[in-house]
Structure formats: structure tokens, C-alpha cells
């Protein structure tokens, strides 16, 4: 039956993407528990949409859009982020002058595991838009164009934001070290 | 040495993945949800059969046709936490056909699938309160036997202790959430105790009410401790004036705390208004007037919180919202009582919890309440009749502004007492 095919397909999509969605939510929120809640809610909403007769062309992008909206709802509860965004935007120009790209030199020996842990800690602390683009680009594997489609921004805006986000993260990690 | 950050971002991602247990839980929740809400077309016959009984998908008879395995766990959690009565088994009491399912299936599964500490604490507190609501319903029907009373009391105590434990753990990670949960639970326990006191004419719930007061005191202590720690933490960060970055973080933390409390308060006000719309016609006019006044006061407190927030006075905003939340949550307990009862106005729960460790039903010549602290947010008295154990009435036009007055109250006609009130 067609409905059985749809259910089967949905379950396949669920099992294919639930880990990556969880990972995305984790790096956006910094909390494992919240990430689990958000992942669960994403698939429930997706099923509601399918059940309501909605058509989905690109499942992966669709799921990330739902997740993104859920995270935005959460950020809206934290009004401070809007203030952070403004100040971070201004500071990013200074950061860009101090460094270039994602590669930087350090004189001290870096413990690899320690740096990985620091990335896990610091990434969720970035301003939401910066955290989102880094997560979607380098963790979820979306291209700048795909990110632009999901967020509704232009590809140029995404590219600039990526550069600033990487610079900001590098600065934060430098302070940590 | 050169470090490629992107490479480390990818490595960080590789080490972040769902555990086996987490995967299984997610799988179960989603598949059960899909089974409970199948695609249209395949299950129309089933849905028609299920909805024909009382017109409610969740009616008791419908449960006979639904395989327990496909119970919508996420929905159960949502319904339980929202207090919705539409799920039939959720409204059952000891002795009802589906009560065992409510306790042994729904509640235990719901508890297991509450992921975060905050969810767990809220869930256990809600279940503890449900035991009290069940006791009230049985007591109003004179069906609260000794055996059932003992079981309800034991279950209530166990759940309350779990809620306390989770909230205490939560305080270490998120003090604002812990304070909000504790405020809510404390006030609701007080309201439940008051409901039982009025409904139980046989004296069957005296021991349970003592137990409630004991747990409420523990919650109160936890809340005050958490608030004290939060203030100390904020002050110590304020003192680090040489580090502007930390001060900014502290201000943001306070604002976030206040905003979250505001959202909870507004949601609670909406629920109280909705409930009043449903049951208002069944209330006596005097009680109805009190309810309206308390809702209006909560709305005013919430508006005051908004103003404080706008002025970046986050501490006062938090407290205004907290009182609005406590007021309406408490009111909701009264509105959900099985019969129309008198609604007690809200005193400062921090003090009243200690006062209520004494017997409330004993006659008292006068209750002399100590002056509250000078903070305008420590106590609120609302402009309607003040009943003290039903033996005296005082009308006061004291408004909820900063004003101190002495009020003389004639108690029992044998003398007079006075109460100093700091507002």
C-alpha cells in the first residue's frame, strides 16, 4: 500500500538523519538533553506535516528547516542574543583584521583532544547565526548555497558570515589557550 | 604549529553522536507517535471506531482497541505536563477501571522519557500534585478509605521527593529553572492543602495534609537556598569590576532568567483565564469576584515585570513574574477542585509555609504576622475580603503598592488583634 511505503520511507529517513540532526542540535544548544528533545520534536513535526498531506522534495533540508525553527523559538526566549549579535557583528571587523582564514600559527603545543573538547564547548557559545553556519557547513555538510536556501539568506551573506564565524571561533579558542 | 580549525570542528563533530540507549528511545518515541497518528486513509475505519465512543479519541473504551505498545508517549508527557483532562485514563482515580494504567503505564513511561532534569523535576511534581487532586476528589465523594489514603500518601511522598531531588540537581546547572519549579511546586502544594482542608469534612486527610506541609517546607527551603545562591553568584560577579566581560555575562544571565520566568508567568495566566472561562459559571459570585481579582493582580504583576525588564531591572522583573506565576498556578489548583470552595488569597508563601506547620484548623485568637521585609515584592495583599479561618472578615482597600498600614481584625468577637502588613 502506498501509505505503508510512505511510512517505511519516513522511517528510513528518520534512521538516516536522526544522528546528524542530534549532532546539529547539540552544537547549537551545547546541551545533550536539549538536543534530544529538539530531535524528537523535529521528527514529530515532520510526521505531522507528512500526515497532513504535505509534499517534501528535499527531506534533509526540510528536517533542518524544522530544527532551525525550533532552535530559533528557543533563542527568542533568550532575548540577550539580539544584543550579542549586534556587538559581535561590530567586533568581527576587528577580528578579521587580526587574523585571516581558519589556519593560525601557535607557538605552544596543542593537545588535540583538548582542542576538540574546546571546540565542542565554544561552538555553541557563538552568536546563533555564526553557530548555525559553522554547524551547517562543516558538521552537517551543507554547501553555502544549500544553507542559503534553508535560512532564506543569499549565498554571499552566508559566505561572509562563515568567514566571520570562523574568525570569531578562532579568537575564542585562542583566548581559551 | 599550524592548526586548521575546520579540521578540528569536523573531529569534534565525529565524536558527538547518539548513544545506543538514546537511539532506542528516540526510535520508540517516533514509531509510537507514527502508530498513534497514522496516515489518513489507512486507518480511517479504526479512527472512526475510536472516535465514536464519546467523540473523544482518548475515551476509556477506545483504549481497549489500542495496542498499549503504540501509546503516544510524547503526547502523554505533553498532556500530563499541560494538565489536560482530555486523556481519559488521566482523569481516573483509585478504584476506576483505567487507574492502574494511568499509574503503572502512563506515568512510569512518561517519567522514563523525560530527558532533561527540568522535564523530570516538572513531571514528578505534576504527578505528586495529581495524587493530591485524586485524594480531594475521593474525599469530596466520601470514598477516601484508609488503604487508598495510605497508598496515595506514599505515592505523593515518593514523587515529591523525586521532584525535590531533581530540582536540587537542576539548581547546579540552571538556578533560574530550579527557582521557578520550586516556586510553582511550593505554592501549588499550599493550595492543594487548602483544598483538602475545605473539602474533607470527615477528617480523613489530616495526616496527608501534615505530609503536604512537610514537603512544602522542604521545597520552600530549597527555593530560598537557590535564590540565595543565585544572588550571591550574581553579586560576586558584579564585584569583579576589572573584568567587564564577566559583568556582561552576568547581566545577560539575569536577563535570560527574568525573560524565562516572564514566559512561564504569562502561560500560567492564560491557563488560569481559560479555566475560569470553563468553570466560572459554576462559582458563587463572591468567589468569582475573588478569582477575577487574583487574575487581574497576576496580569498587573506581569505588566510590572515587563516594565522592569524594559528598564533592565532584571531582579525586580524576575520577582514580579515569579509572583504572577505563583498566584495563577495556585488559583488553577483551586479552580480544578472537585467542588466549589472558598479561595484563599495569597500570602507570602515563604512565611506562610512555616506558619502552616501548625494546625490550620485550630481556633486562633489572632495571628500576628511579623513585619515582612521592606522589599515591595515580599508580600501582596489583594483588594478583596480577607478571611481568617472563616471567623473574621476584613475589608481593605489596600492596593498592591508600596504602603504600610496597621489593620485591626476582630477575631471571634472576643477581642481584637492587629496585623502589621508590609506591602
Preferred mutation among A103, A122, A177 to probe B, highest tally of B CBs within 10 A: A103
CATH architecture under which domain A80-176 falls: Orthogonal Bundle (1.10)
Residue with cell 483588594: B383
Please indicate whether, in this complex, the C-beta atoms of B34 and A47 are within 8 angstroms of each other: yes
The candidate with the shortest Cα–Cα distance to B94, out of B151, B51, B46, is B151
pLDDT digits (tens, 9 = 90+) for B99-112: 665 665 556 555 55
- Tell me, yes or no, if B23 comes closer than 8 A to chain A by beta carbon: yes
pLDDT for position A148: 92
Residues 116-155 of A with CB under 8 A from B: 116-117, 119-120, 123, 134, 138-139
Task: Look at A123 and B12 and tell me if their CB atoms are within 8 Å.
Answer: yes
Region of A50 please: left (phi>0), alpha (psi -120 to 50) or beta. alpha
pTM: 0.44
CB distance A51–B39 less than 8 Å?
A: yes
DSSP 8-state secondary structure symbol assigned to residue A53: T
The string of DSSP codes covering B381-399 is: --SS-EEETTTEEE-----
A99 touches chain B (CB under 8 A): no
This model of the complex carries an ipTM of 0.76
Q: Are B321 and B264 in contact (CB under 8 A)?
A: yes
Cell of A139: 558538521
Closest approach of A153 to chain B, Cα-based (Å): 22
3-state secondary structure of B162: helix
Q: Which of B122, B113, B137 is nearest to B325 (CA)?
A: B122
pLDDT digits 0-9 by tens, B58-102:
333 333 333 333 344 444 454 445 443 333 455 567 776 556 656
pLDDT at A47: 92
Task: Render each residue's pLDDT in chain B as its tens digit; 423 residues.
Answer: 667 888 889 988 988 889 888 888 888 888 888 888 887 765 444 444 434 333 333 333 333 333 333 344 444 454 445 443 333 455 567 776 556 656 655 565 555 545 567 778 888 898 899 899 999 988 888 888 888 899 999 999 999 999 999 999 988 887 877 888 898 899 899 889 988 988 888 888 899 999 999 999 999 999 999 888 876 555 555 554 444 555 565 676 677 677 777 877 887 888 888 888 888 888 888 888 889 999 999 999 999 999 998 898 988 898 898 889 888 888 888 888 877 777 766 644 444 444 344 444 443 333 333 333 333 333 333 333 333 333 434 444 444 444 444 434 343 434 344 433 333
Element (H, E) at B418: strand B416-422
DSSP B16-76: ----HHHHHHHHHHHHHHHHHSPPTTTSHHHHHHHHHSTT-TT-HHHHHHS-GGG--HHHH
The three cell numbers locating residue A101: 582564514
The SS3 of residue B408 is strand
pLDDT 10s digits, B114-126: 556 777 888 889 8
Chain A residues with beta carbon closer than 8 angstroms to that of B10: 138-139
User: Which letter does DSSP use for residue A135 in this model?
Assistant: I
Report yes or no: B29 at the A interface, CB cutoff 8 Å.
yes
B122 Cα to chain A: minimum distance (Å): 15
Sequence spans of domains, chain A: 2-76, 80-176
Residue A26: its chain B contacts at CB < 8 A? 16
Contact B77, B123 (CB under 8 A): yes
Q: Which residue from A1, A15, A109 is facing B1, i.e. has the nearest CB?
A: A109
Report the alpha-carbon angle B285-B286-B288, nearest 5: 60
Specify whether the CB–CB gap between B268 and B325 falls below 8 A: yes
The C-alpha cell at B121 is 523535576
Average pLDDT, rounded, for chain B: 69
Instruction: Select from A6, A41, A47, A81 the residue whose CB has the most chain B CBs within 10 Å, as the one to mutate to test that interface.
Output: A47
Q: How many CB pairs under 8 A join A and B?
A: 135
Q: Check if A162 contacts B (Cβ < 8 Å).
A: no
DSSP B144: -
User: Could you say which of B6, B18, B42 has the minimum Cβ distance to residue A1?
Assistant: B42
* Contact criterion met (CB below 8 Å) for B209 and B197: yes
Counting beta carbons within 10 angstroms of the beta carbon of residue B55, is it exposed (0 to 12), middle (13 to 18) or buried (19 or more)?
exposed
Q: Given an 8 Å threshold on Cβ–Cβ distance, is B256 in contact with A80?
A: yes
Kindly report the nearest CA distance between residue A64 and chain B, in angstroms. Answer: 17
Question: What's chain B's length in residues?
Answer: 423
Query: Which of chain A's residues have a Cβ under 8 Å away from the Cβ of B6?
Result: 102, 138, 166
Q: Do B2 and A166 touch (CB under 8 A)?
A: no
pLDDT number for residue B163: 94
**Contact criterion met (CB < 8 Å) for A83 and B119:** no
Instruction: For residue B20, count other CB atoms closer than 10 A to its CB.
Output: 7
CATH topology of domain A2-76: Rna Polymerase Sigma Factor; Chain: A (1.10.1740)
Q: Identify the segments of chain A with pLDDT beneath 70.
A: 1-4, 77-110, 175-177
Question: Residues A83, A154: contact at Cβ < 8 Å?
Answer: no
Query: pLDDT of B147-157, one tens digit each?
Result: 889 999 999 99
Within an 8 Å CB–CB cutoff, is residue A13 touching chain B? no
Flag whether residue B278 sits within 8 Å of chain A, measured between CB atoms: no
Q: What pLDDT does A123 receive?
A: 93
Pairwise CA distance, residues A44 & B375, whole Å: 46
Q: Give the residue on B whose Cα is nearest the Cα of A171.
A: B5
Q: Which residues of B396-417 are buried (b: 16+ CB within 10 A; e: fewer)?
A: eebebeeeeeeeebebeeeeeb
3-state secondary structure of B312: coil
Amino acid at each position: 500500500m502506498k501509505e505503508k511505503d510512505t511510512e517505511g520511507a519516513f522511517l528510513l529517513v528518520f534512521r538516516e538523519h536522526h544522528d546528524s540532526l542530534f549532532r546539529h542540535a547539540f552544537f547549537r544548544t551545547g546541551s545533550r538533553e536539549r538536543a534530544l528533545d529538539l530531535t524528537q520534536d523535529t521528527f514529530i513535526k515532520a510526521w505531522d506535516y507528512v500526515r497532513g498531506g504535505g509534499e517534501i522534495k528535499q527531506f534533509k533540508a526540510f528536517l533542518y528547516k524544522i530544527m532551525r525553527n525550533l532552535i530559533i523559538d528557543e533563542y527568542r526566549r533568550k532575548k540577550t542574543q539580539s544584543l550579542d549579535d549586534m556587538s559581535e557583528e561590530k567586533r568581527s571587523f576587528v577580528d578579521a583584521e587580526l587574523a585571516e582564514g581558519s589556519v593560525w600559527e601557535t607557538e605552544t603545543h596543542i593537545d588535540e583532544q583538548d582542542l576538540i573538547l574546546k571546540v565542542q564547548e565554544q561552538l555553541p557559545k557563538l552568536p546563533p547565526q555564526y553557530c548555525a553556519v559553522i554547524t551547517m557547513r562543516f558538521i552537517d555538510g551543507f554547501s553555502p548555497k544549500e544553507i542559503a536556501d534553508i535560512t532564506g539568506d543569499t549565498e554571499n551573506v552566508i559566505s561572509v558570515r562563515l568567514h566571520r564565524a570562523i574568525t570569531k571561533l578562532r579568537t575564542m579558542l585562542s583566548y581559551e589557550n | 604549529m599550524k592548526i586548521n580549525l575546520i579540521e578540528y570542528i569536523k573531529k569534534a563533530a565525529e565524536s558527538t553522536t547518539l548513544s545506543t540507549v538514546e537511539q532506542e528511545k528516540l526510535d520508540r518515541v517516533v514509531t509510537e507517535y507514527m502508530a498513534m497518528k497514522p496516515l489518513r486513509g489507512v486507518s480511517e475505519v479504526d479512527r472512526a471506531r475510536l472516535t465514536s465512543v464519546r467523540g473523544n479519541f482518548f475515551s476509556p473504551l477506545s483504549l481497549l482497541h489500542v495496542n498499549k505498545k503504540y501509546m503516544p508517549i510524547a503526547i502523554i508527557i505533553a498532556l500530563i505536563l499541560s494538565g489536560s483532562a482530555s486523556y481519559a485514563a488521566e482523569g481516573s482515580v483509585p478504584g476506576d477501571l483505567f487507574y492502574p494504567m494511568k499509574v503503572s503505564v502512563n506515568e512510569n513511561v512518561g517519567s522514563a522519557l523525560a530527558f532533561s532534569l527540568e522535564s523530570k523535576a516538572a513531571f514528578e511534581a505534576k504527578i505528586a500534585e495529581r495524587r493530591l487532586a485524586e485524594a480531594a476528589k475521593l474525599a469530596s465523594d466520601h470514598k477516601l478509605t484508609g488503604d487508598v489514603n495510605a497508598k496515595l500518601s506514599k505515592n505523593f511522598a515518593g514523587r515529591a521527593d523525586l521532584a525535590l531531588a531533581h530540582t536540587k540537581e537542576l539548581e547546579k546547572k540552571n538556578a533560574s529553572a530550579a527557582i521557578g519549579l520550586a516556586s510553582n511546586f511550593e505554592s501549588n502544594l499550599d493550595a492543594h492543602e487548602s483544598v483538602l482542608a475545605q473539602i474533607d469534612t470527615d477528617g480523613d486527610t489530616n495526616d496527608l495534609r501534615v505530609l503536604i506541609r512537610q514537603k512544602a517546607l522542604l521545597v520552600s527551603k530549597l527555593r530560598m537556598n537557590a535564590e540565595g545562591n543565585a544572588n550571591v553568584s550574581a553579586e560576586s560577579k558584579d564585584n569583579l569590576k576589572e573584568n567587564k566581560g564577566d559583568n556582561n555575562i552576568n547581566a545577560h544571565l539575569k536577563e535570560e532568567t527574568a525573560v524565562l520566568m516572564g514566559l512561564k508567568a504569562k502561560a500560567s495566566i492564560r491557563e488560569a483565564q481559560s479555566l475560569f472561562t470553563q468553570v466560572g459559571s459554576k462559582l458563587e459570585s463572591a468567589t468569582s469576584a475573588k478569582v477575577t481579582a487574583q487574575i487581574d493582580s497576576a496580569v498587573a504583576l506581569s505588566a510590572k515585570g515587563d516594565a522592569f525588564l524594559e528598564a533592565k531591572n532584571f531582579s525586580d522583573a524576575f520577582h514580579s513574574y515569579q509572583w504572577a506565576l505563583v498566584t495563577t498556578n495556585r488559583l488553577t489548583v483551586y479552580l480544578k477542585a472537585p467542588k466549589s470552595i472558598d479561595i484563599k488569597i495569597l500570602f507570602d508563601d515563604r512565611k506562610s509555609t512555616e506558619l502552616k506547620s501548625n494546625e490550620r484548623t485550630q481556633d486562633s485568637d489572632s495571628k500576628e504576622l511579623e513585619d515582612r521585609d521592606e522589599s515591595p515584592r515580599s508580600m501582596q495583599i489583594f483588594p478583596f475580603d480577607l478571611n481568617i479561618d472563616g471567623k473574621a472578615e476584613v475589608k481593605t482597600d489596600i492596593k498592591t503598592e508600596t504602603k504600610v498600614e496597621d489593620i485591626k481584625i476582630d477575631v471571634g468577637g472576643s477581642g481584637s488583634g492587629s496585623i502589621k502588613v508590609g506591602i
